[in-house]
Amino acid sequence: MKKFLSIVSSLAIFASCAEKNSNYSLEDYQSVKKTDIHIHITADRPTFVEKAKADNFHLLDVALEINKGWEDVYFKYNHGKNQQEQNPETVDLVTAFAVSDWDDPAWESRVISWLDSCFNEGAVGVKVWKNIGMVSRDSAGNLITIDDEKFDPIIDHIQQSGKTLLGHLGEPKNCWLPLEEMTTNNDRTYFEKHPEYHMYKHPEMPSHEEIIASRDKMLEKHPDLRFVGAHMGSLEYSVDSLAARFEKFPNMGIGLAARMGQVFYQTVENREKVRDFFIKYQDRIMYGTDLADNGTITKEELVNRMEDTWKRDWEYFATDNMMESDLINSPFQGIQLPKEVIDKIYYKNANTWFALKP
Ligand SMILES: [Zn+2]
C-alpha cells in the first residue's frame, strides 16, 4: 500500500510538471517567436521595427487604398518596402491595388502588372479594404462589390502566383448599431470619430449581412484561393458564425487585428466556448493587431502602445489570469492555450497561410 501511494504521488508530481510544461508563462513572451500579421508603417523612423525585433516579432506590413487611389497604395507600399529593405529578416509586405480607375479599360492590366512588380519584390499577399462594398463606386454610381466578375481575373492571378488575399471586407457588426449598444469601447470611439463609416447612420447603405454575403460569394467562386479574413473576417461578434464559415470555406483563415475587444467580450459571456474555438481552429487563426506608425506620436508613446497591446494579448492567450482592458467594461479571464496552439496562432500559421520563408 505504501509503495502504491508513493507511485501515485510521483505520478501526481509528474502530471503537474507535464501540465506546467504544456503552457507558456508571462516570462516566455520575449523568447517565443511571434508574427504580427497586420501592421501599418507609413513613417521613416525605425522605431516600430526595432521594438518588434526586441520582442521577437516578425511583421507583415499591410498596404491599402483608403481614398486617394493609386497614390495612396504607392505611398503605403513604398514605406513598407523601405522598412523591409532595412530589416529584410523582420518585415514582409502585403501590397494592395486601387479601384479608383475601375471603369478605365486598362484597369485590369494595370492592377496585374502592379501586383506582379510587387510579387517580384517579394510581396506575400494582397489586401483589399472595406472601400470595396462600402465606399468606392463605379462611374454609374453603384457600389463596387468584391463578388463583381471584374475581380475574378485579379483574384485568379493572385492565387496562381501563390499569394494570399487579405480581406478587410465589411465592418464589425457594431458598426450597424447605435453607439450605446456597441459591445466594445474601441468600436464606439472609432465610429464616434468616423460617422462616415458608422452604418447605423446610413440606412441606405448595404447591411452587414449583404456585405458578408458578397464576400462569401467571392470565396465560392475561388475555392483554391488562400483567403485570410482581416479583423476576424468581420464575423468578430460570434465564434459560432466564424466556425460555420471555417467549415464552409477550408481555405479561409482569419487574423485577429483590432478585434481582441470582441474576443474579450465573448470570453466574459462564455470563456470555455471561446477557448474551445481557438483550440478547434488552431490552424486557421493568426495573431495581428493593426498597430501603426504614421509618425504622429512620440517614439516613447509608440513603443508603450506596442508593448501594452502585445503583452496584454500574450497574457490573455498564455495565462489564466483575471484581466481588465479598456476595450470592454467587464473583467475577463485569460484562456491559457496549450503551447502548441500558441505557437501556431502566433507564428506557424502565418508562415503557412502567407507562404513565408522563415
Ligand atoms: Zn489595418
CA of 292 to the centre of ligand 1 (A): 8
In angstroms, what is the span from residue 8 Cα to ligand 1's centroid? 53
Measure 322 CA to ligand 1 centroid, in angstroms: 28
Residue 227 pairs with which residues in a beta bridge?
165, 252
Kindly give the distance from the C-alpha atom of residue 172 to the centroid of ligand 1, in angstroms, as a whole number.
Answer: 13
The model's pLDDT over 270-283, given as tens digits with 9 standing for 90+, comes to 999 999 999 999 99
Tens digits of residue pLDDT in 280-316: 999 999 999 999 999 999 999 999 999 999 999 999 9
Q: What is the model's pLDDT at position 5?
A: 47
pLDDT tens by residue, 316-350? 999 999 999 999 999 999 999 999 999 999 999 99
Query: Average pLDDT of 143-171?
Result: 97
Ligand 1 centroid to Cα of residue 17, in Å, is 40
CA 148 to ligand 1 center in whole angstroms = 23
Kindly give the distance from the C-alpha atom of residue 73 to the centroid of ligand 1, in angstroms, as a whole number: 13
CATH architecture under which domain 29-353 falls: Alpha-Beta Barrel (3.20)
Stronger pLDDT, 14 or 298, i.e. the higher one:
298
Mean pLDDT of 229-246: 97
Question: Cα of 143 to ligand 1 centre, how many Å?
Answer: 21
Q: Provide CB contacts within 8 A for 84, sequence distance 6+.
A: 61, 91, 92, 93, 122
The predicted-structure confidence for 181-233, as pLDDT tens digits, reads as follows: 999 999 999 999 999 999 999 999 999 999 999 999 999 999 999 999 999 99
Question: What is residue 97's predicted lDDT score, i.e. its pLDDT?
Answer: 96
CA of 201 to the centre of ligand 1 (A): 23
Confidence bin at 68 (pLDDT 50/70/90):
confident
Place of cell 522605431: 47
The reported pLDDT for the residue numbered 357 is: 82
**Per-residue confidence (pLDDT) for residue 85, from 0 to 100:** 97
Distance 258 CA to ligand 1 centre (A): 8
Q: What is the pLDDT of residue 21?
A: 80
16: pLDDT strictly greater than 80 = no
Residue 6 has pLDDT above 70, yes or no: no
Cβ pair 175, 258 in contact under 8 A: no
Calculate how far, in angstroms, residue 332's C-alpha sits from the geometric centre of ligand 1.
25
Quote the CA–CA distance of 30 and 26 in Å, as a whole number: 9
Does residue 76 have a pLDDT over 80?
yes
Check residue 67 and give its pLDDT.
74
Whether residue 336 contacts residue 271, with contact meaning beta carbons closer than 8 Å, is answered with no
Distance of CA 127 from the midpoint of ligand 1 (Å) = 9
19 has pLDDT over 50:
yes
Give the mean pLDDT of 2-12.
49
Count of beta carbons in the 10 Å neighbourhood of residue 127: 24
pLDDT bin (cut points 50, 70, 90) of residue 66 is confident
CA distance 60 to 288: 9
Give distance in angstroms: CA of 128 to centre of ligand 1.
Answer: 10
